[in-house]
């Protein structure tokens, strides 16, 4: 597991917003909300490549994402809001009605290639 911590910033995107209205069960919405945008140097440090899966952990929970190289500042990662980001949020709203959802310190653990998982029943 990576010893370095990163700042996760969930965000709204046009695609994510459109697909909220189309339906959250669709493959495209799921792909959008499970794609983690990371600086190329951070990806190398974590040990992941484009398309690899990673587990992101906060003090409140964890969720799996697919990694994607992006033009983002080193040390910061981004992902569109969706069910996975909700798994990372705490319940405290500081009286605003919305949990804190920016600037979370997270740990990232590589899980391997997206298609390398074997599912057995």
Average pLDDT of the chain to the nearest whole number: 79
Looking at residue 33, its pLDDT comes to 84
* pLDDT, tens digit (0-9, with 9 covering 90-100), for 59-76: 889 999 999 999 999 999
Asked if residue 12 is part of any domain, the answer here is yes
Phi, psi (5° rounding) for residue 46?
Answer: -75, -30
Looking at residue 90, its pLDDT comes to 73
Looking at residue 117, its pLDDT comes to 44
Looking at residue 23, its pLDDT comes to 59
Looking at residue 67, its pLDDT comes to 95
Residue 120 has pLDDT above 70, yes or no: no
| Whole-number CA gyration radius for the chain | 14
Domain encompassing residue 74: 6-116
Check which CATH number belongs to the domain holding 99 and give it. Answer: 2.40.40.20
Asked if residue 93 is part of any domain, the answer here is yes
Asked if residue 1 is part of any domain, the answer here is no
Report DSSP state, residue 115: G
Q: Count of domains in the chain?
A: 1
Asked if residue 82 is part of any domain, the answer here is yes
Instruction: Name the more confident of 48 and 31.
Output: 48
Asked if residue 121 is part of any domain, the answer here is no
Q: Are 72 and 43 in contact (CB under 8 A)?
A: no
Asked if residue 38 is part of any domain, the answer here is yes
Asked if residue 63 is part of any domain, the answer here is yes
* pLDDT, tens digit (0-9, with 9 covering 90-100), for 11-33: 666 555 555 555 566 677 788 88
Asked if residue 42 is part of any domain, the answer here is yes
Helix (H, G, I), strand (E, B) or coil at 118: coil
């Amino acid at each position: 597991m990576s010893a370095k911590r990163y700042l996760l910033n969930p965000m709204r995107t046009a695609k994510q917003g459109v697909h909220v209205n189309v339906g959250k069960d669709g493959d495209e919405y799921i792909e959008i909300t499970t794609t983690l945008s990371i600086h190329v140097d951070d990806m190398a440090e974590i040990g992941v490549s484009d398309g690899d899966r990673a587990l992101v952990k906060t003090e409140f929970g964890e969720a799996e994402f697919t990694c994607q190289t992006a033009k983002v500042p080193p040390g910061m990662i981004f992902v569109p809001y969706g069910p996975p980001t909700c798994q990372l949020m705490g319940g405290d709203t500081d009286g605003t009605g919305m949990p804190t959802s920016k600037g979370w310190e997270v740990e990232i653990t590589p899980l391997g290639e997206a298609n390398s998982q074997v599912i057995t029943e």
